[in-house]
A and B are shown apart, each in its own frame.
Chain A
Amino acid sequence: MLVPVFTLKLNHRINPRMVAVGRFDGVHPCLTAATQAGKVFIHNPHTRSQRLFSSRVSQSAQDSDISLLNINQAVSCLTTGTLAPGSSCHALLVGSQTSLLAYDVHNNADIFYREITDGANAIVLGNLGDIPSPLAVIGGNCALQGFDHEGNDLFWTVTGDNVRSLVLCDFTGDGKNELLVGSEDFDIRVFKEDELLAEITENETVTSLCHMHGSRFGYSLANGTVGVYDRTARYWRIKSKNHAMSIHAFDLNADGVVELITGWSNGKMDARSDRTGEVIFKDNFSSSVAGVVEGDYRMDGQTQLICASIEGEVRGYLPASKEMKGNLMDTSVEQDLIRELSQRKQNLLLELRNYEENSKCVAGCLTSEVDAQGGVIPANTQLQTALSVKAGTESQRPHIELCISTPNETIIRAVLIFAEGIFEGESHVVHPSVQNLSGCVRVPIIPPKDIPVDLHIKAFVGSKNSTQFHVFEITRQLPRFSMYELCKDDTAPRPKGKVTFQINDRPQRVIMWLNQNFLLPASLESPDVTFTALRAGGLLCIRMQPSGEIQLNTDDIDLAGDLVQSLASFLAIDDLQVEADFPAYFEDIRMTLTEVDEFHSVHQKLTAVMADHSNAIRHMLVQAEDARLMGDLKTMKKRYIELYDLNRDLINEYKIRSNNHTALLSCLKAVNQAIQRAGRLRVGKPKTQVVTACRDAIKNNNVNALFKIMRAGTPSS
């Protein structure tokens, strides 16, 4: 049994996912974590004599090993590492919703401080692609930004939604790091510098990512899933009812391969094999785990795995010694193996008994009542399933109907559908009341996004008064674009928004793509079709010229992007140049951009007013105190009343300022999303070009150029 080599009680709460170990003087490792009240604490047990005193750092009164760093803002992410090339000392990087601070703890100096309008939800430090110096990459609202040690903004790109997790990992195996980004739209995106290499769609917000080895990485989702990917192929995943707070790769059993260490919200910590997900070690904390990191914390040349709980309990584990043979748990392997084999034997025996009893029952023919209870059904009962698109009626929203029926007099007692990402939980249940029991169940399904979904259907089939039912298990796939109904009416005006591009493939291939990705009553003959979008309303027209030119008409820019991406991957197109026009959407963005300008000017005005007020406060306070010293109580009272009024004004202004700020943020997010959407309409190189060109246009505040790029897909030349 593996036991911790050290345990610390730090008496400071630790914010989840904000734990790091840094060697700020280049030698001694210090556990660094964000705590309450906008503070960061540094636990430095090794250099007790040297103490730091300054404006930012203060000594904790409770514990002499702990120094506290005042950030004066809620910390949102934190990391440590080498920032300046060639330096042996680690820098501390602290991100908040408005800023990024790079701090040299040893010399007690700011390295740089940057205002970050998009906020910093996640941070990672390291080398990215061909950029020579280490970068601190932060992910905020739809934006990614990378800073070098001088605070220069060397890297910028946009992504689909708010970033929640980042990791650097050699995804392609070319010896250079790619950036993996997990975001709130359930996607893991892989960036080679600013080129998007791959997108992996998961079914919940990606909360953490960690690099395992080679191109393998671990991930965790907000619904309690953790797993391991190798490139875009998932090795394994497990789901727990608890949430994974922090994941980390560490070789705990000393077999030369790292394991995925997960810290859970219920205080459990486990280590799983990277190949199978099998638990090889677990331990329990009394409160939720806040972070899992590693470091040579005892300074004896061995790296320990360090787990910290939110209550400030820290445990360090050494990798297992050779004698333990990789067996870290408190049980004997043989015993467990025998038990498992016996259990399997028992299961097989039970199954065998089931068949025997079944044939006995068949031989002895039906003895009516008893059998009805046991749920006897005709052996040739087969479940039929059908998927169809239903337009909305007055009582029901438009949906996809899954119809499950039995061919005989048996009834369906209940239907369980397990599917990811389309129901509130992971399952949907239909359980008709006794009077409504029949052999046919219709389940309305409304997928919220255009993603292909596997529906794992379990239907309980029996007779009306059975207590035992047969369980039929069927898997059906819902195609990606299932919420679109074929529209027969060709006279309707086409939507104004459109994208046009040229492919070098036969129309048959496009027809094939249509048949696979849309839910159609019958196979299509020609690639010219019109659909009604059931979710958002509006039409979608697809036209293909004999020359290979394809035109998609829709007002939904997201849908157009999804279609282009799906078609390009189906036809294996690497680079695709697209011309696009979405008049309504572009108009919205134009408005948003003007709003951004307004918000900016309001912000400046408010800042100026605030400066005035703070001068006035100083002035009034001096006057009031003077009056008090002179004994002129009347004036003093007057001044203090004025001060009170001013204070109230300030609070009001603060509220305005913060409202203004949130509005500004949402506008900026919309702008970032617009760039991302414009990018998604293209594939490969043209995509990267569009994103960079848009960014330049925004930097130069050239709105017309921005729209030109979005339309043409190339920087104006």
Chain B
Amino acid sequence: MELNLNRVDYLQVGVTSQKTMRLLPALGRKATQKVVVADQDGVITCFGMKKGDAVPVFKTLPGQKISRLELGGALGTPQEKIFVAAGSEVRGFTKKGKQFLSFEANLTESIKAMYVSGADLFVCASYIYNHYCDCKDQDYYLSGDKINDIVCLPVENLGRITPVLACQDRVLRVLQGSDLMYDIEVPGPASVLELNNRDGGSQGGEILYGTSDGKLGLLRLTDTSPVHIWEVANEKKRGGVLCIDSFDIIGDGVKEILVGRDDGTVEVYGLDSSNEPVLRFEHKSKTLSESVTSIQGGCVGKESFEEVLTATYTGWLTGLTSEPQHKEAGPGEEIKMSRETQNKIAALRAELEQLQIKVLQEREKYQQSSQSSKAVSAVPVFSINDKFTLCQDDASYSLTLEVQTAIDNVLLQSDVPIDLLDVDKNSAVVSFSECDSEPNGNFLLATYRCQANTTRLELKIRSIEGQYGTLQAYVTPRLQPKTCQVRRYQIKPLSLHQRTHTIDHDRPMNTLTLTGQFSFAEIHSWVVFCLPEVPEKTPAGDSVTFDFQNTFLDTQLECTYSKCEANFKSDNISTISILKDVLSKEATKRKINLNISYDINEESVNHTLKMIHPKLEYQLLLAKKVQLIDALKELQVHEGNVDFLIPEYRSILEEASRLLEEYKKQPAHLERLYGMITDLFIDKFKFKGQNVKTKVPLLLEILDNYELNSLVEFFDSA
């Protein structure tokens, strides 16, 4: 069915974190609900809507940044107690705004995620999980990677406490007490967890998860193992999921799934007859695309009109309501409507004017202070919401920068050669500046001049494995006094690798073994230096194994290491070669004596070539077809029909638009494959102690007339 929702803006608060807005339960049936939202200034705002005006219920004083807001209450009663996590403290408020709880969790770090169920409180810092019952310490767990979110399966249904942690290493960890019951691999780093249907489904074990690369899924947890029910891939390249809710917006008695993403998209999924999710509604703001940090279904603006309420990064509370905006009404009513808004606008304008005067005074004062020789100028740090992630589909990095106010310009600087790709979504004018690699070590200097009202900028970056360094982004917002902030991102030596939990042991593997006087922490820090998605904290235990997959070639890497010994296994000889170079360099830097030995499996090279073969063949064919399209179209115009063409050409013409789209999606794919084959060739012989750089032109010639057998032969014979 067609779902039609209209946007209404309610209120703006400060910058909000993920999951910091909830709707209080309605008092009667079909009455409007109050909204409670907490921001990074530490203010909790509770308000209700009356005749289109936001009427505050209560508002707390500013304080520490609030990272989570949850509702709770005794089990079986309306969940209307408000809990917020700020720093390492949890505070509780009644719905009237009276504080009844202040609980110091005694964590060294601030709380990242929180869940409340009855008298049970679950809090998570970066790696630590803590469970309190009636504010008394119960259980504790140290996770292997960063914890992004937590839920607890409903106690009413299961009769026991089953917390589930969403961790950065693409795993959901299900706990029992202080122990890990089992873990579940999910297709991306899970960023949010929510109980399905708000109560975990009929058996109470269903969990919805969203990942930071934009995927969505439903799981059913049983006592022993999980069941994957469905999964929605991110084909349209939408942003990462930040919040999920279940709510019956259509009014058919079944709850739909509401999803908010970090590129400003709001989606509503319904279930079809076979219980598969179908996209029912999608809202994408054209002018503003800021992260949707919280999403809730309920009734806020007007009685008996269901709506989807969202909170965005910059603090806007916006409803997508089922109430029609342009009502069929007489002309008189229309005027009344606009008068209301006119008053609102007039009030806003007056407020603005006063503010402007105040700002002018302050500005003057600030200018005057610049005359004095003793005064200093210190502008507070503004917050930047940034994300630097590897996209699996096209093996490139995406960098998103989001600021509370409009961005003026962004300067990108890199000390490694990287390619900046064009992103359709961003409208900023990019300009590349000449750079001098000597003496300043710049390989990329680019400015993005943003159009007015751009608060979020998305960039795509392609890195080359083996070349590593730092990418820096200087962000200048349009805010007086003008300041800019720098953000640094590491481009790691094996930048195109991604954590995985399944590895194929039957492939021919090359092994690199390191022994020497290094500690477990040291070798771990080297691995962190080389590979993305490894937790910075040294893992517990004596030894650890991490598995990786190359997102471009699908080759794999297995790292096992402990004190004084490390083993790296990969079917790609280039990966081993890069590791060897980087690790020996790092060790030399720290003056540690390393014994490096390697075991090269000749077969692995051919195996890798065979893995590349289908990709390369497909790309070559695609390139060839795309080249022919224009000529064939011309023939078509000339001859008037295509009957005389052979079927192959006719099919190219029929598929022309699809081919072109595909070709556009993967710029320079072929060149990258060529580059990797060349690396493979050089690395194979490097381990034999031969330098074959002179033979590279010959290799490229063979690649131009590509055939798997001749390539393999060349690799063998050279």
Q: Are A416 and B409 in contact (CB under 8 A)?
A: yes
The stretch of B144-152, B223-231, B378-386, B616-624 in contact with A is B378-386
Query: Does B253 lie at the interface of the complex (its beta carbon under 8 Å from any beta carbon of A)?
Result: no
Interface residues of B in 367-382 (CB under 8 A from A): 369-373, 375-382
A14 CB to closest chain B CB, in angstroms? 12
- Of B8, B405, B641, which contacts A350 at CB under 8 A? B405
Interface of B is mostly: mixed
Residues of B within 8 A of A460 (CB): 474, 484
Q: Which B residues touch A466, using CB under 8 A?
A: 486
Of the listed stretches B185-193, B427-435, B489-497, B540-548, chain A binds B427-435
Cα of A347 to Cα of B408 in the assembled complex, Å: 13
Closest A residue, CB atoms, query B487:
A467
- Select which of A346, A352, A379, A458 is within 8 A of B372 by beta carbon: A379
Residues of A within 8 A of B430 (CB): 241, 425
Does A381 lie within 8 Å of B348, measured CB to CB?
no
Q: Are the C-beta atoms of B379 and A354 separated by less than 8 Å?
A: yes
Instruction: Contact check, B378 vs A362: say whether CB atoms are below 8 A apart.
Output: yes
The reply to whether A240 and B345 form a contact with Cβ atoms under 8 Å apart is no
B residues in contact with A471, CB < 8 Å:
476, 482-484
Known interface pairs A357-B380, A379-B376; A338-B344 also in contact (CB < 8 Å): yes
Distance of A376 from chain B, by nearest CB (Å)? 4
Q: How far is the CA of A351 from the CA of B405 in the complex (A)?
A: 11
Interface 0/1 of A196-235, CB less than 8 Å to B: 0000000000000000000000000000100000000000
The answer to whether A60 has its CB under 8 Å from any CB of chain B is yes
Cα A662 to Cα B13 in complex, Å, equals: 67
Stretch at the interface among A329-337, A386-394, A503-511, A627-635: A329-337
Q: Is B9 an interface residue (CB 8 A)?
A: yes
B378 in contact with A426 (CB, 8 Å): no
Does A618 reach chain B (CB closer than 8 Å)?
no
Which residue from A331, A343, A357, A467 sits with its C-beta under 8 Å from B379? A357
Do B356 and A414 touch (CB < 8 A)? no
Among the stretches B94-102, B437-445, B591-599, the one at the interface with A is: B437-445
Determine whether B338 belongs to the interface, using a CB cutoff of 8 Å to chain A.
yes
Quick check: A358 and B377 within 8 Å, CB to CB? yes
CA distance A432 to B406 in the complex (A): 27
Tell yes or no: A377 within 8 A of B by CB: yes
Evaluate whether A414 and B413 lie within 8 angstroms (CB atoms) in the complex, with A334-B341, A362-B369, A471-B482 already known.
yes
B636-655 contacts to A, CB under 8 A, are: 637-641
Partner of B447, one of A354, A381, A427: A427
**0/1 string, A362-380, CB within 8 A of B gives 1:** 1000100001011111111
A240 → B minimal CB distance (Å)? 7
- List of B residues within 8 angstroms of A468 by Cβ: 379, 381-382, 483-486
List B296-355 residues whose CB lies under 8 Å from chain A: 314-316, 325, 338, 341, 344-345, 348-349, 351-352, 355
Contacts of A347 in B (CB 8 A): 405-406, 478-479
Contact, CB under 8 Å: B637 / A433: no
> Are B640 and A61 in contact, CB atoms less than 8 angstroms apart?
yes
Which of B338, B380, B409 is within 8 Å of A334, CB to CB? B338
In the assembled complex, the Cα of A331 lies from the Cα of B7 at a distance in Å of 9
Find chain B residues with CB under 8 A from A113 CB. none
Q: Mark A251-267, 1 if CB is under 8 A from B, else 0.
A: 00000000000000010
Assembled-state Cα–Cα distance A77/B413 (Å):
43
Interface size on A, residues (CB 8 A): 81
Q: A345 near B355 (CB under 8 angstroms)?
A: yes
B348 pairs with A342, CB closer than 8 A: yes
A423 at the interface (CB under 8 A from B): yes
Cα distance A62–B422 when bound, in Å?
A: 37
Q: Quick one: closest A residue to B441, CB to CB?
A: A433
The stretch that binds A, out of B116-124, B358-366, B516-524, B566-574, is B358-366
Q: Is A355 an interface residue (CB 8 A)?
A: yes
Given contacts A414-B413, A414-B474, A427-B447, contact A381 B377 (CB under 8 A): yes
CB contacts (< 8 Å) of B427 on chain A: these are 240-241
Name which residue of chain B comes closest to A424, CB basis.
B434
A338–B483 touching, CB < 8 Å: no
CB nearest to B13 among chain A residues: A346
Q: Given contacts A352-B358, A380-B371, are A473 and B485 in contact (CB under 8 A)?
A: no
> Residue B341 contacts which of A62, A266, A338 (CB distance < 8 angstroms)?
A338
Q: A334-B338, A335-B8, A418-B449 are in contact. Are A374 and B345 (CB under 8 A)?
A: no
**Any chain B CB within 8 A of the CB of A599?**
no
Q: How far is the CB of B7 from chain A (nearest CB, A)?
A: 7
CB-CB under 8 A for A377 and B377, given A37-B634, A428-B434: yes
Q: Is A348 located at the chain interface by the 8 A CB criterion?
A: yes
Tell me whether B12 is interfacial, beta carbon within 8 Å.
Answer: yes
In Å, the complex CA distance between A661 and B697 comes to: 38
* With known contacts A37-B637, A345-B352, A473–B482 Cβ distance under 8 A: yes
Q: Does B480 contact A (CB under 8 A)?
A: yes
Closest chain-B Cβ to A332's Cβ sits at a distance in Å of 7
**What residues of A have a CB within 8 angstroms of the CB of B453 in the complex?**
343
Complex Cα spacing A470 to B316, Å: 28
Question: Across the interface, do B483 and A470 meet the contact criterion of CB distance under 8 Å?
Answer: yes
A375 B483 Cβ-Cβ under 8 A: yes
Which residue in chain B gives the minimum CB-CB distance to A344? Answer: B352
Q: Please give, as numbers and ranges, the residues of chain B lying within 8 Å of A348 by CB-CB distance.
A: 352, 355-356, 359
Interface pair A431/B413, CB less than 8 Å apart: yes
Q: Find out whether the CB atom of A379 lies under 8 angstroms from the CB atom of B634.
A: no
A36 within 8 A of B: yes
A341 close to B484 (CB less than 8 A):
no
Q: Which residue of B lies closest to A473 (CB)?
A: B482
B404 at the binding interface (Cβ < 8 Å): yes
CB closest residue in chain B, given A41: B637
Cβ contacts under 8 Å, B637 to chain A = 12-13, 35-37, 39, 60, 68
A61 to B344, CA, bound (A): 62
Name A411-465 residues within 8 Å CB distance of B.
Answer: 413-414, 416, 418, 423-429, 431-433, 436, 458, 460
Set of chain A residues within 8 Å of B338, measured between Cβ atoms: 334
Looking at the assembled complex, report how far the CB atom of A713 sits from the nearest CB atom of chain B, in whole angstroms.
43
The interface residues of chain B lying within 8 Å CB-to-CB of A237 are: none
Residues in B whose Cβ lies below 8 Å from that of A427:
431, 433, 447, 449
Collect the chain A residues with CB atoms within 8 Å of residue B431's CB. Answer: 423, 425-427
Q: A224-B429, A347-B405 are in contact. Are A13 and B359 (CB under 8 A)?
A: no
Residues on B with C-beta less than 8 A from A423 are: 431, 433-434
Q: Does B481 contact A (CB under 8 A)?
A: yes
Contact with B along A319-341 (1 / 0, CB 8 A): 00000000000011011111101
Select from chain B the residue with minimum beta-carbon distance to A382.
B370
A46 on the interface (CB 8 Å rule)?
Answer: no
Q: Which of A350, A353, A376 has the most CB of B within 10 A?
A: A350
Output the nearest chain A residue to B436 by Cβ-Cβ distance: A430
Q: Tell whether B680 is near chain A: CB-to-CB under 8 Å.
A: no
- Given that A337-B345, A362-B369, A458-B476 are contacting pairs, would A376 and B445 also be in contact in the complex, using a CB cutoff of 8 Å? no
Give the contacting residue for B373; candidates A344, A350, A378; CB below 8 A: A378
In the complex where A376-B378, A427-B449 touch, is A241 in contact with B486 (Cβ < 8 A)?
Answer: no
From residue A536, how far is it (CB to closest CB) to chain B in Å?
22
Are A380 and B372 closer than 8 Å at their CB atoms?
yes
A638 close to chain B: CB less than 8 A: no
Q: How far is the CA of A350 from the CA of B15 in the complex (A)?
A: 11
Q: Does A651 sit within 8 A of B, measured CB to CB?
A: no
Which residues of A approach B to under 8 Å, CB–CB?
12-13, 35-37, 39, 60-62, 68, 224, 239-241, 266, 331-332, 334-339, 341-359, 361-362, 366, 371, 373-382, 413-414, 416, 418, 423-429, 431-433, 436, 458, 460, 466-473
A-B contact pairs, 19 of them (CB 8 A): A36-B637, A335-B8, A346-B314, A346-B404, A347-B405, A352-B355, A355-B366, A358-B379, A358-B380, A374-B380, A374-B381, A375-B379, A382-B370, A414-B413, A418-B447, A431-B411, A467-B486, A468-B381, A472-B482
Of all A-B residue pairs in the complex, the 3 with the closest CB atoms, nearest first, are: A61-B640, A425-B431, A471-B482
- Could you list 7 further interchain pairs (A-B, Cβ under 8 angstroms) beyond the known A61-B640, A373-B381? A266-B424, A335-B8, A339-B316, A413-B486, A429-B433, A458-B476, A460-B474
